[in-house]
């Protein structure tokens, strides 16, 4: 058979793995600097744990796992179960004898499940970070895969808005070290609810926000057309017309909302929360150009209750490369109340694509061997291996070419692998206590004593 990859998945070469590790190491270091502790959860969860947490569209993208009981069933029963499974492929799964588990869709819901199961043992506020793959039955395209990594940082057990301020700092510090210029877009779920109340369309909140979220793609006319198609009256649309004329001053826009929300408790609470986060971030030195109040931002409305974040790269067309928000009710679905939470995610795969496009990976973000020792056979081979051991003890990567082949072949091997130096430890060098080292990048060759070579 012809080998092939499943759609939406990828193999990673040594260079790609090294570059991904470079990003992960920076994120992991900053997670721990900000007080987050590592956590890992299983690749798959009970289907009931995941469904109903991401909205109707999200539920459709969950990868479901065929129930193992089918394989354990007797032949006649197995045939019937497989027939039922085949019939179910074109409609939503509803039979527990077909599937009762699924690959995790994100890291947040499994985290909420973990907290609900272990809340009596955790010290709150509990801060965790998690770097693991997730799976979505999505349509593959640039920057969107069916298997990809999320890098999450969450805090549960605190309602303090200082958590939002700290997460803004975490985002900016991490992307600054990756040398990716970004803008953090921020909104608040309560502001969106307040807008719906102000326009008299509380029952149309999701319809309203879904259309508004497309403003940068379809423009004002497109949004208005879609609002009308979603049976939102022209009168309500007219009341919301000011949304299409926002200034670049976030605090000025919030002041305008305060006036609109007079007597609107939910909307005013959202403005107050967002104003605090933006003001405190500015007081800590954040450039207002890097933190934008985006009133059209409406991601995660099925579970976010307060702040909503989305991070975009300034110099690449990639969509969001990070996002998150406050979710004060998520553990309630597992029977545990009063554990508020907030979290953010870094999109590792999209960050990689941005850094690759902008040529931002440093030379050290590779795993090339420092020294290749030429193989001359006999005593020289044993002495070369002894020297390689001493280099490795110093944390310097080195290897011996495995066969006593023609030197040209050994040269070619080193060049193709990107090895920086080819080392000759032949009969003459052994007699004189020296090594000859050729730098393949510069083309320079010199002979030095063993002591000098080992530093």
107 is in an annotated binding site: yes
pLDDT value of residue 279:
96
Residues 348 and 446 in one domain: no
SS3 assignment for the chain: CCCCCCCCCCCCCHHHHHHHHHHHHHHHHHHHHCCCEECCCCCEEEHHHHCCCCHHHHHHCCCEEECCHHHHCCHHHHHHHHHHHHHHCCCCCCCCCCEEEEECCCCHHHHHHHHHHHCCCCCCCEEEEEEEEEECCCCCECCECCEEEEEEEEEECCCCCHHHHHHHHHHHHHHHHHCCCEEEEEEEHHHHHHHHHHCCCHHHHHHHHHHHCCHHHHHHHHHHHHHHHCCCCHHHHHHCHHHHHCCCCHHHHHHHHHHHCCCCHHHHHHHHHHHHHHHHHHHCCCCHHHEEECCCCCCCCCCCCCEEEEEEECCCCCCEEEEEEECCCHHHHHCCCCCCEEEEEEEHHHHHHHHHHCCCCCCCCCCCCCEEECCCCHHHHHHHHHHHHHHHHCCCCEEECCCCCCHHHHHHHHHHHCCCEEEECCHHHHHHCEEEEEECCCCEEEEEEHHHHHC
Q: Is residue 60 part of a domain?
A: yes
pLDDT value of residue 361:
96
Distance CA(348)–CA(119), nearest Å, equals 29
Q: Is residue 3 part of a domain?
A: no
Higher pLDDT, 30 or 8: 30
Q: Average of pLDDT values for 329-348?
A: 91
- Please say if the pLDDT value at position 105 is more than 50: yes
- Please say if the pLDDT value at position 139 is more than 60: yes
Q: Is residue 380 part of a domain?
A: yes
Q: Average of pLDDT values for 177-205?
A: 95
The total number of structural domains in the chain stands at 2
Q: How is residue 56 written in tokens? A: 């109707």
Residues 424 and 280 in one domain: no
Burial class (CB within 10 angstroms; exposed 0-12, middle 13-18, buried 19+) of 100 = middle
Higher pLDDT, 419 or 57: 419
Residues 296 and 442 in one domain: no
Distance CA(53)–CA(108), nearest Å, equals 10
Q: Is residue 202 part of a domain?
A: yes
Q: Is residue 244 part of a domain?
A: yes
Q: Average of pLDDT values for 349-358?
A: 94
Q: Is residue 186 part of a domain?
A: yes
212 is in an annotated binding site: no
Q: Is residue 5 part of a domain?
A: no
303 is in an annotated binding site: yes
pLDDT value of residue 93:
44
Give backbone dihedrals phi and psi of 199, rounded to 5 degrees, phi first. -90, 0
pLDDT value of residue 75:
59
- Averaged confidence pLDDT in the chain: 90
**CA nearest neighbour of 304 among 166, 122, 108:** 108
108 is in an annotated binding site: yes
Contact indicator for 156, 341 with CB cutoff of 8 Å: yes
Q: Is residue 7 part of a domain?
A: no
Residues 181 and 308 in one domain: yes
pTM of this prediction exceeds 0.75: yes
Residues 125 and 45 in one domain: yes
Last residue of a domain, one of 357, 382, 400: 357
pLDDT value of residue 53:
81
315 C-beta neighbours (distance < 10 Å), count: 12
Give me the domain span that covers residue 259.
14-357
Q: What is the CATH number of the domain that holds 218?
A: 3.30.930.10
Which of 92-106, 209-223, 318-332, 368-382 bottoms out in mean pLDDT, i.e. has the lowest? 92-106
Question: Which percentage of the chain shows pLDDT scores above 90?
Answer: 71
Residues 343 and 384 in one domain: no
For residue 88, what pLDDT band results from cuts at 50, 70 and 90?
A: low
304 is in an annotated binding site: yes
**CA nearest neighbour of 108 among 321, 380, 302, 354:** 302
Last residue of a domain, one of 299, 330, 357: 357
Tens digits of per-residue pLDDT, 12-52?
A: 999 999 999 999 999 999 999 999 999 999 999 999 999 88
- Please say if the pLDDT value at position 433 is more than 70: yes
For residue 95, what pLDDT band results from cuts at 50, 70 and 90?
A: very low
Last residue of a domain, one of 333, 357, 381: 357
For residue 82, what pLDDT band results from cuts at 50, 70 and 90?
A: low
Distance CA(226)–CA(218), nearest Å, equals 10
Q: What is the CATH number of the domain that holds 375?
A: 3.40.50.800
- CA of 117: how far to CAs of 97, 336, 343, 416, in Å? 26, 9, 19, 51
Residues 158 and 282 in one domain: yes
Residues 29 and 151 in one domain: yes
pLDDT value of residue 56:
80
Give backbone dihedrals phi and psi of 145, rounded to 5 degrees, phi first. -125, 165
Tens digits of per-residue pLDDT, 175-184?
A: 999 999 999 9
Residues 226 and 287 in one domain: yes
Residues 22 and 120 in one domain: yes
Residues 192 and 274 in one domain: yes
pLDDT value of residue 329:
82
pLDDT value of residue 77:
61
pLDDT value of residue 79:
60
Tens digits of per-residue pLDDT, 230-255?
A: 999 999 999 999 888 888 888 889 99
pLDDT value of residue 68:
65
Residues 250 and 375 in one domain: no
């Amino acid at each position: 058979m012809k080998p092939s990859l499943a759609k939406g998945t990828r193999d990673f070469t040594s260079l790609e793995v090294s570059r991904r590790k470079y990003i992960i190491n920076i994120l992991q270091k900053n997670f721990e600097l900000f007080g987050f502790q590592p956590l890992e959860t299983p690749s798959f969860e009970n289907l009931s744990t995941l469904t109903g947490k991401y909205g109707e569209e999200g539920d459709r993208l969950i990868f479901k796992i065929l129930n193992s009981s089918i394989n354990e069933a007797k032949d006649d029963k197995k045939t019937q179960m497989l027939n039922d499974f085949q019939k179910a492929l074109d409609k939503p799964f509803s039979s527990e004898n077909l599937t009762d588990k699924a690959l995790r869709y994100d890291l947040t819901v499994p985290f909420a499940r973990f907290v609900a199961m272990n809340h009596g043992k955790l010290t709150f506020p509990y801060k965790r970070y998690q770097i693991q793959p997730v799976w979505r039955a999505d349509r593959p395209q640039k920057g969107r895969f069916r298997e990809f990594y999320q890098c999450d940082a969450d805090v549960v057990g605190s309602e303090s808005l200082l958590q939002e301020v700290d997460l803004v700092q975490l985002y900016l510090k991490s992307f600054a070290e990756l040398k990716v210029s970004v803008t953090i877009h921020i909104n608040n779920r309560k502001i969106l609810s307040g807008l719906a109340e102000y326009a008299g369309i509380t029952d149309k909140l999701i319809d309203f926000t879904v259309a508004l979220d497309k403003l940068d793609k379809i423009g004002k006319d497109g949004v208005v057309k879609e609002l009308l198609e979603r049976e939102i009256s022209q009168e309500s649309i007219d009341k919301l017309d000011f949304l299409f004329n926002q200034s670049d001053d976030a605090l000025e826009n919030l002041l305008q909302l305060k006036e609109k929300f007079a007597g609107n408790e939910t909307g005013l609470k959202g403005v107050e929360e967002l104003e605090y986060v933006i003001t405190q971030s500015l007081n800590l030195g954040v450039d207002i150009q890097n933190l934008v109040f985006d009133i059209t931002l409406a991601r995660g409305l099925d579970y976010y209750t307060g702040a909503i974040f989305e991070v975009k790269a300034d110099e690449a067309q990639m969509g969001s490369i990070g996002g998150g928000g406050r979710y004060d009710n998520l553990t309630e679905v597992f029977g545990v109340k009063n554990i508020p939470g907030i979290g953010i995610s870094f999109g590792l795969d999209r960050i990689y694509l941005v850094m690759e496009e902008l040529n931002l990976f440093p030379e050290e973000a590779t795993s090339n061997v420092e020294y290749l020792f030429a193989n001359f056979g006999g005593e020289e081979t044993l002495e070369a291996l002894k020297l390689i051991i001493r280099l490795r003890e110093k944390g310097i990567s080195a290897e011996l070419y495995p066969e006593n082949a023609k030197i040209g072949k050994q040269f070619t091997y080193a060049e193709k692998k990107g090895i920086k130096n080819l080392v000759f430890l032949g009969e003459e060098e052994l007699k004189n206590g020296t090594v000859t080292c050729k730098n393949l990048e510069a083309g320079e060759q010199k002979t030095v004593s063993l002591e000098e070579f080992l530093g």
